[in-house]
Amino acid sequence: MSLAASPERKCPIIALASTKGGVGKTTLAYVLATELARRLAIRGRGRITCIDADPNRTLSQVLELTDDPLITCVESDSDRLLADLRQAQSESDLVVIDLEGTANQAMLYAAGKSDLVLVPAQPSRFDVVEAVKTIGVVRKAADLVGREIAHRVVLSRTPVLRQRVADHSRTQFVRAGLPLLPVELVQRAAFQSMTYTGKPPWRQDGGGQAAANVVSLTDAVLDIIGLRFADQVASGSLLTVA
């Protein structure tokens, strides 16, 4: 299945949004993009476009380090976002938008255009509050543009070991009526070291826990937008690629 074969077939857009900073938007955008690029590389063709609408340009910086030939990074802002999106959609298999950690115009536009909005949140009360706010914005945007916009809260930096506060936060997200992605981005050193080395977890240690985490997370995300890259590669076996 080719996703961007004809101009009419628009490729899916995933936006990373949160009105709070430091929750893991860029981390999640980066691991998703690099993991999808890895799967596309197995397929042999394709292209991921990352749109960095965060004025801090953190995603651009780390992608520049990574220098993956299948990933194109576009620096954008609220004025250029719609044009950049159109351009990206016409020539990619998937678009990932990383946003600034605040409620702004770019966030509204990105939400209005996206197929899936992921709202990373750490297990803390402030993050629950901001996630509720962000999801509220996404839902209103869906009303205004007159279509469903899938959205999920992705718990990020959750402790590897069971902690009561993390459990409590999960309960709070569910109580607030926020849909949770079944896979969380666990706190791992690989997710921090990649910001220095530009090496995604599967390049650092293909069989490691962080890489496995990213694989199942990406599977969960692709499930929601009804996509599967590299179907022939099952989640377990592709960890051997490096």
Partner 1 sequence: MNDLADDRDDAAFRARLAPLASEVLPPPPAPLVQRKRWNIMVPAGIAVAVAVLGFAWLQSKWPWSEMPRAAIHAAPPAPDPSAEMVRLLMQRGDAAFAVGDIIAARLMYERAAGLGSANAATAAGKTYDMEFLLNAGARGIRADPAAAAAWYRRAAALGDPEAKTRLAGQKP
Minimal distance in Å, beta carbon 74 to partner 1? 16
> 104 vs 124, which CB is nearer to partner 1?
104
> 42 vs 82, which CB is nearer to partner 1?
82
Minimal distance in Å, beta carbon 152 to partner 1? 20
- The beta strands (E) that lie in the chain are given as 13-16, 48-52, 71-75, 94-98, 116-121, 150-158, 185-186
Which position has the token pair 């459990």?
Answer: 167
Chain positions contacting partner 1, by CB under 8 A: 82-83, 86, 103-105, 108-109, 112-113, 137, 140-141, 144-146
> 145 vs 176, which CB is nearer to partner 1?
145
Token pair in block for residue 51: 């749109």
Minimal distance in Å, beta carbon 16 to partner 1? 17
Comparing CA positions, the residue from 223, 227, 221, 235 lying closest to residue 15 is 221
With contact defined as beta carbons under 8 Å apart, do 59 and 26 qualify?
Answer: yes
Minimal distance in Å, beta carbon 77 to partner 1? 14
Q: Which residues contact 239 (CB under 8 A, 6 or more apart)?
A: 202, 206, 207, 211, 212, 215
- By CB atoms closer than 10 A (0-12, 13-18, 19+), residue 202 is buried
With contact defined as beta carbons under 8 Å apart, do 104 and 134 qualify?
Answer: no
> 144 vs 234, which CB is nearer to partner 1?
144
Minimal distance in Å, beta carbon 61 to partner 1? 27
> 12 vs 201, which CB is nearer to partner 1?
12
